[in-house]
Structure formats: structure tokens, C-alpha cells
Amino acid sequence: MSNEPWTHHRARLPGLGVHYVRAGTGLPLVLLHGWPEFWMTWRKNIGLLARHFDVVAPDLRGFGDTEKPAAPLALDDLVADLGHLADHLGVTRFGIVAHDVGAWIAQAFARHHPDRVSGLFFFNVSYPGIGKRWAEADHLVEIWYQSFHQLPLACALVGYNRDTVRLYIRHFLTHWAGDSHAFDEDLEAYVDNFMKPGNLEGGFKWYTAINATRLALIRDGAPKLAKIAVPTRVLWGARDPLYKTAWTDLIPEYFADVRVDFADGAGHFVHYETPDLANKEIIQFFKGR
């Protein structure tokens, strides 16, 4: 891609070397990706958002060109990484745009550091209110990969060669998107990313890190928690088979100031599938904050 509106950077944080891209000036916005993704999932958003904000899109710990420490991954590590990155950038208060893995990090960060977050914008957010519904009988076919990724043979099977990586990653990019061809132009870049040493394992480690929490939700149901006070906006892809639209029902029980809307033409990757809508809503939400 030529004439890219962003520049690539590396930051040495406590115990971790992080890769991120940055563009624009103004209110800082940090974009937190999910799996199977890396910073590039935001390529349709960064340019326009950078006209209004100081946009930072990092590769999470274990993903992309950020380091992959040998130690087991933990949500607390990812939350700490976000704070350390903001400190490195000299940013005291910032907005967060996130989905999937990034949404777990954003919620935990907002609970621990609400004074540092100007707003939360989520796509198809993994929030505690989903509870036991993750493992409803008709939904088990959608979450099999969360257990598979924890098996010792998972990386060897998926990473056998470039063709197996392509088959595996393409399955999720096509199945979870509202349009099965949404990622056609970027598929090989995603394969390149997951062919890099440690990138499959780094992403798979997330599912081990979050497994105890996931099983607790499935076993015990939605927990009672204090509401997150940070102003929150949710744009949920109506065609996402992994995150059902009905699961938005309890969002107001976990966020004190929240608005939820649906993106009719999008699946799991709302920001990538319907970037014009996503960018417009992000700008409207964060302008003036």
C-alpha cells in the first residue's frame, strides 16, 4: 500500500517491545484489535480518524510484530501494556476503540483506570453479561476454536505450512464476516502475519489466558459487577454468528452510560466490513471528549 497515512513505531515497555502505527493529531484514540487480527485490521479506519484524532493502533502482546514473551499470557499483562504504552506516548487520557480480544482489555482497563479513559467504543463486545449463553447447545459449534487453541497440537496442525495457515485463518475471516469475500484483498497479508515465527502461538495463548474466566461465565452465569462509568458506545454487527444480537440485552447492566446500535450489513468485523459507518460513529462519539 502506497501513500499510507500512518507511520510505524516501536516502543520499549517494561518487559515488552511493542509495535504500533500512529497517525494524526488531537484527542488520542487507541485501537485494540482482536483475533485473528493485528494492527492492519484498522487500515480502513486510521486514515479518516487521523483527520480528527491522534490514532494509535498497536499489535497486542503476542500478536503481529510485538514481542511474544515465553511466559504464559494473562489479561492483566495486556491491561498493563496499554497503560505502559500510553505512558510511553506521554498520553494521560485517551479514548479506546476495541472489539473481540481488545474489548476484554478495554473493559478491564476502564474498571481500573476510569480517569484515564475519555470514552469506550466497542464493536460486538465480549462483556460479562453473555454469561452461560457462550455454551448454549446451538452455540457450541461456534466456540470450538476457543478450546482447540489451547491444545498442544494446535500450532503444529494449523502452522504446518502456508496452505494450512491460509485455510484456517480464511475460515474465520469468511465465516464471521457478513460478506464472505470481505477480506479477499487482504487475506495474503493476514497469512503473512501468521506465518511469522510465534504469531500463531502468540494469538492462541490468549485463549489459555482467558479460559478460567470463560469457564466461570459458562458455569456460574453472568456475574454481578459495578457498572463501568466511562461513557460507552456499542455498534454491533447484526450478521455476526459468533456474537448474537440478542446478547446485547444486558449491556446496560454493566455500563452506566451506554448506547447500543446495530450495523445491519456487518458481521464480526464491523470496523473493517462497514468502515464508512464505523468511522462516522466513532468520530461523532469522540468529538468534543
Which residues does the annotation mark as catalytic?
A: 100, 207, 268
Residues 6+ apart with CB under 8 A from 286: 27, 29, 52, 53, 95, 118, 119, 121
CB 249 within 8 A of CB 131: no
How many Cβ atoms from other residues are within 10 Å of residue 2's Cβ? 3
197: left (phi over 0), alpha (psi -120 to 50) or beta: beta
The C-alpha cell that represents 55 in the structure block: 490514532
Q: Say how many residues make up the chain.
A: 289
CB 238 within 8 A of CB 245: yes
The C-alpha cell that represents 282 in the structure block: 466513532
For residue 121, CA distances in Å to 142, 158, 216, 221 come to 25, 32, 26, 25
